[in-house]
Structure 1
Amino acid sequence: MNPNLNIPGLLISAPASGTGKTTLMLGLLAAFRAQGLKVQPFKSGPDYIDPAFHAAASGRASVNLDSWAMTPARIAGLASVAQDADLILAEGSMGLFDGVAKPGEFGSGASADIAQMMGWPVVLVLDVSGQAQSAAAVAKGFQMLRPEMPFAGVVLNRVASPRHEALVRAGMAAAGITVLGALPRRASIELPERHLGLVQAEEQPHLQALLAEAGAFIAENLDLGTLRAAARGHLSPAQPLPIIPPANRIALARDAAFSFIYPHLLAGWRAAGATILPFSPLQDEAPDPSAETCWLPGGYPELHAGKLAANANFRQSLQAFAAIKPVHGECGGYMAMGAGLIDAHGQRHEMAGLLGLETSFAKRRMHLGYRLALTYAPVAGHPANTRLRGHEFHYATILAQPDAALAHVTDATDAAVAETGSLRMQAGGGQSSGTFFHLIAEAT
């Protein structure tokens, strides 16, 4: 461990989604790793997909830091995973200042909160296609909107030609903005997307080759030494706050249909002494009968609904487990616990039937935002009347949610939401519960 905790960092952000910050982040992780550096990645905000790419590029688990859902003490404790690193790189979410309209107790969820809290200067990725000197006005606005936030400079992305780059650089120089590099278009390192973001890392057959190309591309077009010299920041000598596991032995659904769970939760469960027992519903596997609870994370059950419906061993064994023990599902896992799921083509697939929930992707509607839940019953290792913070993001329409509500759920503006989650006590004494929000942390 580094005793002084003086590990410098940078936060990679942008004015909006789709401007190239993930490509830059992955390329930097791969390029610095190729130089022999230990680079610790982080992700600002509630995202499951990007951290898996970070881990593949850096060789280290990426951790989410969230200024709305986490206390500063929890953030400091989670950030301590970087104590043996040479450099920290954090990737923002959406635009740099994008967060909730009504900040919570600790922040708005914006990436700028994390940059300011941790002292990591912002590297702003700008898509300069279709503009030249005008890009400087955007950069200057981002630099000045929150003057107390550290700001390193900009990386110009999707540069059309040397002449185009020269014009953009001239505007930046006149505005006093540092240009940290310029990237031409490179279609071969763009990652495919689907409705919740990037196609998952484990679904990319040539990921390592793509990461190697991205690292070489970034090293060729950016001065890595200048970027590393711009890094600043500090880590508090903090121990990670405890995370309560749902049980001592946890059967965890884990495959392409059920992969959305925050790395810090898994690490916290293990640190508390819990044993995690993965199984694959897509491979028609059963939850380990020695487990004390079963957890079905979110993911893409709608893409695999036919297979899940046909996997009788998985469904029957889950039903037998749920008869006597707790089963909890989040978002996609919640839908898989329901009575039925209608896919995007309008076909209904029978799900596990532990709850009466009916959902449809034929009638798409986006549900997005932070959630604060006050539980009505014990759930996920927490007693009744616990306040939990989480995040919801899906496109399913609820056709029926007939079971008892699991919690009183509000959004970041304190408005009640209809997605209360569900609770059903099974005849054999088991408890089946589910939520559309993904748990991030217990609210304090």
Structure 2
Amino acid sequence: MSASPETAAGTVVRSALESMGAEGRARVLASVARRFSDLDLAEEMVQEAMVQALRTWGRDGVPEVPEAWLITAAKRRGIDTLRRDQARARLIPRLGALQERDPGSGSVADPADEVLSRDFSPVPDERLGLFFACAHPVLKPEERIALTLRFLAGLSTAEVAHGLLVPVPTMQQRLVRAKRRIRALGISFDVPSRELLPERLAAVQRVVYLLFAEGFARSGGQAHVRDDLTEEAIRLAKVLHQLMPGSAEAAGLLGLLLLTQARRPARTDEAGRPIPLAEQDRSRWDGQLIAEGLALAERAASAPGAGAYAIQAAIAAVHAEAADVESTDWSQIAVLYRMLESYEPNPVVRLGRAVAWGRARGMQEGLAQLEDLVGDPALERFRPFHIARALTLEEAGDFAAAGAAYRRALELPGNEAESEFLSLALLGVQNAQK
């Protein structure tokens, strides 16, 4: 029995909305937020516009440019809402400028036909330009990063919380406070002029880095990796490097991402489970990405202003140049982590230094360093810490303690492919104890 025309039309509309993906929805939200300086209002209006699309597109057909249609519809609904909402009366002065650009406020006959005006942007990529816009200096650094990841990069609140090593409720409160600050101060989401880009670069780079990190090892879901996120992060890092060719940190970030991505072909088995670095077939690493990454890492290390990303690129370069784990210059990596800690004194850096120290000075010294990190609130919630500890304990022959660490890792959120790997590893150490 064939579907009715109404059902078929609804399926086409839902498919068109779903095909936009998180990235498309983030662009629509950012464009609307830019007009109203109110993320809560923008979210509400975008949702209403999507509901309206389900009705209108099913009747009139999917417009040629769905994003433009949604932006226009959400903008008009926002203007109407502000006219009616006295609680948002402080935004009323903005209506004049908005109405000049959009005098009509009735039904949206065919907004896709409208040409949305775009100001000249010094950033040659719309999405990256929005990242710079969201990195407003009035916002606290952690607010800029969280807002950009959540609303422009399309990550969930839980994914953002994982990337910034905070509990989900804390992240929810942080996002609420940031949105209130934007609304109270009337912050606009305009792309800054070229001379103001350097002061916002650090926040934007952090967003790109965390976007890559979420794709490299997912904090949830079924698969261990999300190639669309890592590829998008690399694309954005390339634009940043082109935008600021003299920046050591822009070169360092791109070099780091390329060298890390080079391992991708060897990072998972046929079932999609992760393969630890020590067990990866390095002949499968991408030689072209390694060559590009090494050149960028060298350039970053020798350029003025080298910092955290240049150091991390140097660490990745040491790994890339080694034939195997045993021949890796772990002493150099440990020194580089100590340098990195002066820029980023966070527990994840201390974790990396502990692992490198153990490889360089002996497993027992590495375990001692790892034990010093036990009890850190951020690491206690961080599954990779317990995985690193379990692997180290297993290699040292302490199977009982390794089993406890694997069990703790399995208690924490993570992707299903990684959980399967941990379950198999736990079974292995349990068998070794018999």
**Do both proteins adopt the same fold according to a TM-score greater than 0.5, normalized to the shorter chain?**
no
What TM-score comes out, normalization by structure 2 length?
0.26
What TM-score comes out, normalization by structure 1 length?
0.25
Report the structure, 1 or 2, having the larger helix content: 2
Q: Which has the larger radius of gyration?
A: 2
More contact order relative to length (CA 8 Å, sep ≥ 6): 1
